[in-house]
Every structure is written in C-alpha cells, then in structure tokens.
Chains A and B, each alone.
Chain A
Amino acid sequence: MMPLRKVLLICGAVLAVICCALLPLVVGPYGVGIALNVLMWIALAESWAMFSGLSGYISLGHAVFYGVGAYVTVLLWQLVPLWVAIPLSGFGAGLLALVLGWPCLRVRGPYFVILTLGVSEFVKYIVIGSEAALGRNGRLLIGTPSLVVLFEAMLLVAIVSMVALYVVRSSRLGAGLLAIREDEVAAGAVGVNATAVKLLTFTLSALVPGVVGGLMILRSTYFEPLQAFNPTTSFTIVTIAILGGSDDVPGPLLGAVLLVLLSELLWARAPEVYMIILGVLLVAFVLFVPEGLLGRVQRLASPAKP
C-alpha cells in the first residue's frame, strides 16, 4: 500500500510542477506576478521551517539573509553573469548565517528570538550606513531578466526549498533537530552534537532566502536597504509558518498560498485592513490552532491520535 501511495504522491507532485511551469502560457503578467509571490513565500517559509520549525528556535533573521542576497546580486550586477551572481547571493547569505549563527545560537528561547531580530536590524543599519558613505541613494538595475524567466527560476528555488526540508526532516540531522526541540539537554545526553547540528542547519536554511533575495531584486529592479532588509519579511514568514504549520513540507506551502491570496484581495485596496486581519489571524492561530492548519487537518483525519 505504502509504495503505491508514494508513487501517486510523486506523480501528483511532478504533475503540479509541470502545470506550474506552464502557467505563464495561460495567464497574463498579473497572474504570473502573483504566482511569483506565492512561490517566493513558499521558498522562504519552507527554508525557515527547515531550521526554526524543526529545532523550535524561532529566528527573525530571514530578512537579513534575504537582504544580503539582494545586496550581493546588486553589487555583482553586470560584473559577473547572473547564473554566477544568484548562487553567490545564496552562498553570501549562507556565509553570513555561519558567522552570525555561531554567537547567536549560544542563547535560547526568547533571547534567541530577539537577538536574531537585533542582529538583522544591526546589519541593515550597517548596510544603510555604508551605502550612505558611498554616496549611493538606492541602486537601479537596468535590463533585468523578464518576469517569466524569474518565475521559472523561483519555481526551481521553491522546489529545491521543499525538497531540502523533506530531506533534512527525514535525515539524521532532522532527527537531531527534533530532539533539540523537545529537550536540548537530553538530546545532548544521547549524543546529538547540538551546536554542530544547529549551526549546520541554520547555515543551510539561509541559502534559499539569499537566492530568493537575489531574484526578487531583479524583479523590483531597485535596491534600497530599508526595503531589502525590511524586518516585516521575517515576521511574514513566521506568520505563514504559524498559519500553515511548520512541522512538515505541506504546512508552509498551505500558509503561503493562503496569505498571498489574502494579501492580493486586500493589499492594494486596504493595506491597513490587510495588516489588521494578519494580526488577528496570528493571535487567533497561536491561541486556538497552535499546530497550524496542516496539524489540525492531520488531527481531524486521524482522531485516534491525541
């Protein structure tokens, strides 16, 4: 029974990917733009869940990895080809995660949450300061790839991000992270090298936002540090993870689709109302559906499990 289910699942996934890839043939630029946003949030939230969802260390640092990715792409613009610059954006973000993660991961719980926020704001103001010192008031990119190219690239990144979460979750690394989430001291006692596991995953989870940042700056064609390093990015990712659930691959996917649809319905017409609904959803989900939509669906599907 299991193999059949798996085969069906894989066939379904491949079919969904092909449909997604062919989407630009069917819908206009507006639709492709929305789809690009959905894919961006899927990629970001899945990569966030890889570290924060599995380890329970809620990171507000994704905005800085996104921003650094964007910055690297902007700095390398027209110096190297994009197929070099975009991966380098990912590695730049990964390198930063390695450097920042080493001190940050020594603290836990609320200290970690506010430290990641503090560090990303710190980096943001450093970039703002250095751009001002260079006399650059924002940078314009001219001749960026078309929307469809960016969409297909983002589709690839989203798939990689989902597969990466799946692979990490079912590996020894994932088992180590889940053990850390339940009880870090006990995990250490049974032989999990907590420091190494956390630092490795934190670094891995920063690669995707770096690449996403690089791609999205090609979409917006304008780099401005306040925008690129906006902490709202981190908060939105956390909200997506809370809505969908961050324990498994479908959770962040569900959350991202839901949130982007909501934002498309309301953002342009009533941005304040959108933000208020976002806040209400966040509060309501933490209080009443802490396991997220996916967790709730799974629980309803198998009522025997507590």
Chain B
Amino acid sequence: MDLSVIFSAQLLASVLVLASLYALVAIGLNLVYGTMRLLNVAHGELVMLGGYVAYWAFAQWAISPLLAALVAMVIAAAVGALLYIAIIRRLFRSPSLLARIESNSLLVFFGISIIIQNVTSLAFTADSRGYSYLDDVIEIGGARIAANRLATLAVAGLASLACALFFRYARSGMAMRAIIQQRDAAALVGIDVDRINVQVFALGFALAALAGALISMSQQISPFMGFPFTVSGFVIIILGGLGNLTGSIFGSLILAAVEVYGVTLISPSFRSILVYGVFIAALLLRPQGLLGRSIRAR
C-alpha cells in the first residue's frame, strides 16, 4: 500500500466535505441533547426533509438548491418549534416522564421518526431521487472535486463558523451554552429556558435541513436515508462529548477521516463496521468524550 495515498489532496478534500456536513448534523443533535437531555433519533429525518425540499424546488421550478436550502431551513425551524411546543414540552411537565427523560425522549422521537419517514414515503413514493447541479469537476491543488461538493464545503463550513460565532457572542447563543452547563442555575439567573428550548429546536432542525439540502446535490435521496445520519451524528457527539459543541466539530473530522480512509484503504463494505466500531469504542472507553475532562457517573 502506497503511503502517499493517506496524504493525497483528493482524500483530504473528501474528508473535509464529509466532515462539514457531519458537523451541521451533529451540532443540532448535540444542542438538543445538551440543553434538554433529549435523544433525538428523528434528527436524520430532518436531513431527509431538507433534501426533499431542495429536490422539489429544483425539479419543479429549477430553483438553485443553495437558495432552496434557505427555504428548507425555515420549514425545518418551524417543524422543530412546533414539535417542541406540541409534544416535547409535555415530557418536561410530568415528573414521572421527566425522571426517565432520555429513554422517554428516545421512544417519542423514534415514533416521530417512523411517522416522518412513512408520511414522506406515502407522499413521494419510496424511490430514490437525484438531480445534477453544478456537477462539473474543478481542480484545486491536485484534488479533483465536483463543484457542488466544493459549494457544500463552503456553505457548511460557513454555517458551522456562524454557529460558533453565535454561541460565542449572541445572547441566545450564550444562553444555550449556559443551559448546557447548568440548567437550573441558568433559569435562576433569569434565562427563559422554555423560550431558549424552542430556539434550540428551531436552530438544530434548520442545520439538519441545511445539511440535507446540500447532500441532495451530490447524493440520491430517499425517505429512509435519515437513519445513517442519525447514527453518524450520535457517534460524533459521543466522540466529541455529549453537550460539548466544539467537540462536535472535532468529532466530525475524526469520523469523516475514519470513513473516507477506511473505505479507500480497506473496502466500501467496511464503512458500517468502522462507523459502529468507532461508536462502540468511544462509548466504552471514553463516554465523557475525547475532549471531556471529568468522568460523570451517569
């Protein structure tokens, strides 16, 4: 095996594109877990919905997916806020449900996930769909990369950066971080936790939909495409630490690198084994995350 493969610009570019998409998915997933201790197994379904919005906008009205992504984000944000207000809020209201919030949220979101998948399948059939947009190949520094993947990297990278700035400087962003650190204390110092929860859902879902719209430019979409993204998202946030937003970006890079190099060096059929292998190893060896400092008994 030629070692230069590992340092080829081609593979590095693939890692970055995949990592930037994963970061979008994982930040939203982690935000919802960090602030509310909810295991959103329906997160991948929002990726799928984002993909469908972009697909229909392009197929029906020839609207650029990059523009449709904005529409997808608005729709997803509305879905997230409504979901929180209509269903998730109830989980916090009953003490017996709250006592097992993580398991209960997992079941509720699993239910929501099958509802979204099958409603989509009823509405748009279970067929895979794809379209071609910006698919000419560009050569940069020895890497040949399709323009749509380059656009994906740029948009997803910018969005991740915007998120980082939002968490650092915006009032709501700081409030989200405060809730992640100390939920009760955050409420005590005057943060309207319920309102921030709505925003968290809206933001997390919007990011997932953005990822979906971007993915639809280079991959086929189907009603059942979401689950692998949910799994990858969980692997990443466990790698980076549950509730640790910077860790999510770090975890995205690791998982993307493992996937891209694993598939190239071993075989594509090893992708799932590698992803789940990393998942299990991370959970067993460092459940507090690679960047985590203290082990919390949970």
Identify the A interface with B (CB < 8 A).
56, 58, 103, 106-111, 113-115, 118-119, 121-122, 125-126, 128-129, 132, 235, 238, 242, 272-273, 275-276, 278-283, 286-287, 290
Residues of A within 8 A of B121 (CB): 272
* A-B pairs with beta carbons under 8 Å apart, 14 shown: A56-B100, A107-B284, A113-B39, A113-B102, A118-B280, A121-B276, A122-B279, A128-B269, A242-B107, A272-B118, A276-B119, A279-B118, A290-B94, A290-B104
Q: State which size class the interface on B falls in.
A: 35 or more
- Give which listed residue, A109, A119, A273, A282, contacts B280 with CB less than 8 A: A119
B273 at the interface (CB under 8 A from A): yes
Residues of B within 8 A of A126 (CB): 273
Known: A109-B102, A115-B284, A287-B87. 10 other contacts (CB 8 A): A106-B284, A110-B102, A111-B283, A242-B107, A272-B119, A273-B118, A278-B114, A282-B110, A282-B114, A283-B112
Residues of A within 8 A of B113 (CB): 279
A272 CA / B115 CA spacing, docked (Å): 9
Q: Is the interface of B mostly helix, strand, loop or mixed?
A: helix
Residues of B within 8 A of A125 (CB): 272-273, 276
> Considering the complex, which residues of chain B in the window 267-298 have a beta carbon less than 8 Å from any beta carbon of chain A?
269-270, 272-273, 276-277, 279-280, 283-284, 287, 298
Q: How far is the CB of A226 from chain B (nearest CB, A)?
A: 11
A113 CA / B107 CA spacing, docked (Å): 11
A187 CA / B238 CA spacing, docked (Å): 28
Interface-centre pick from B96, B234, B284 (highest chain A CB count, 10 A): B284
| Pair A235/B283 contact, Cβ less than 8 Å | no
| Pair A115/B280 contact, Cβ less than 8 Å | yes
Residues of B within 8 A of A235 (CB): 110
| Pair A122/B277 contact, Cβ less than 8 Å | yes
Residues of B within 8 A of A278 (CB): 111, 114
> Considering the complex, which residues of chain B in the window 128-146 have a beta carbon less than 8 Å from any beta carbon of chain A?
none
A282 with B111, Cβ < 8 A, contacts A126-B273, A129-B273, A276-B119 known = yes
Interface-centre pick from A103, A118, A272 (highest chain B CB count, 10 A): A118
A56 CA / B269 CA spacing, docked (Å): 35
For residue A113, which residue of chain B has the nearest CB? B106
Residues of A within 8 A of B283 (CB): 107, 111, 114-115, 118
A191 CA / B53 CA spacing, docked (Å): 57
Instruction: Kindly supply a per-residue 1/0 record for chain B positions 211-243, scoring 1 wherever the CB is within 8 Å of any chain A CB and 0 otherwise.
Output: 000000000000000000001001000100000
A192 CA / B231 CA spacing, docked (Å): 35
Closest 4 CB pairs of A and B: A282-B111, A279-B115, A110-B102, A122-B276
Residues of B within 8 A of A58 (CB): 103, 106
Q: How far is the CB of A110 from chain B (nearest CB, A)?
A: 4
| Pair B103/A103 contact, Cβ less than 8 Å | no
- Give which listed residue, B94, B122, B270, contacts A129 with CB less than 8 A: B270
For residue A120, which residue of chain B has the nearest CB? B276
A281 CA / B114 CA spacing, docked (Å): 11
Q: How far is the CB of B284 from chain A (nearest CB, A)?
A: 5
For residue A238, which residue of chain B has the nearest CB? B107
| Pair B269/A286 contact, Cβ less than 8 Å | no
| Pair A286/B39 contact, Cβ less than 8 Å | no
Residues of A within 8 A of B118 (CB): 272-273, 275-276, 279
Q: How far is the CB of B260 from chain A (nearest CB, A)?
A: 18
B108 at the interface (CB under 8 A from A): yes
Contact count A vs B, C-beta below 8 Å: 112
A231 CA / B100 CA spacing, docked (Å): 23
Residues of A within 8 A of B96 (CB): 290
For residue B267, which residue of chain A has the nearest CB? A129
A55 CA / B237 CA spacing, docked (Å): 27
Residues of B within 8 A of A122 (CB): 273, 276-277, 279-280
Residues of B within 8 A of A275 (CB): 114-115, 117-118
| Pair A286/B104 contact, Cβ less than 8 Å | yes
A121 CA / B283 CA spacing, docked (Å): 15
| Pair B103/A110 contact, Cβ less than 8 Å | yes
- Give which listed residue, A119, A273, A276, A283, contacts B108 with CB less than 8 A: A283
B90 at the interface (CB under 8 A from A): yes
For residue A109, which residue of chain B has the nearest CB? B102
B6 at the interface (CB under 8 A from A): no
A276 CA / B117 CA spacing, docked (Å): 9
B187 at the interface (CB under 8 A from A): no
| Pair A110/B117 contact, Cβ less than 8 Å | no
Q: How far is the CB of A277 from chain B (nearest CB, A)?
A: 9
B97 at the interface (CB under 8 A from A): yes
> Considering the complex, which residues of chain B in the window 19-50 have a beta carbon less than 8 Å from any beta carbon of chain A?
37, 39
| Pair B112/A287 contact, Cβ less than 8 Å | no
| Pair B114/A276 contact, Cβ less than 8 Å | yes
A129 with B114, Cβ < 8 A, contacts A107-B287, A111-B283, A276-B119 known = no
A103 CA / B284 CA spacing, docked (Å): 7
A103 CA / B90 CA spacing, docked (Å): 34
A109 CA / B276 CA spacing, docked (Å): 19
| Pair A109/B108 contact, Cβ less than 8 Å | no
A6 CA / B284 CA spacing, docked (Å): 46
A107 CA / B91 CA spacing, docked (Å): 23
For residue A287, which residue of chain B has the nearest CB? B90
A235 CA / B287 CA spacing, docked (Å): 24
Residues of B within 8 A of A103 (CB): 284
A273 CA / B115 CA spacing, docked (Å): 9
Residues of B within 8 A of A238 (CB): 107, 110
Q: How far is the CB of B289 from chain A (nearest CB, A)?
A: 12
A106 CA / B280 CA spacing, docked (Å): 13
Residues of B within 8 A of A279 (CB): 110-115, 118
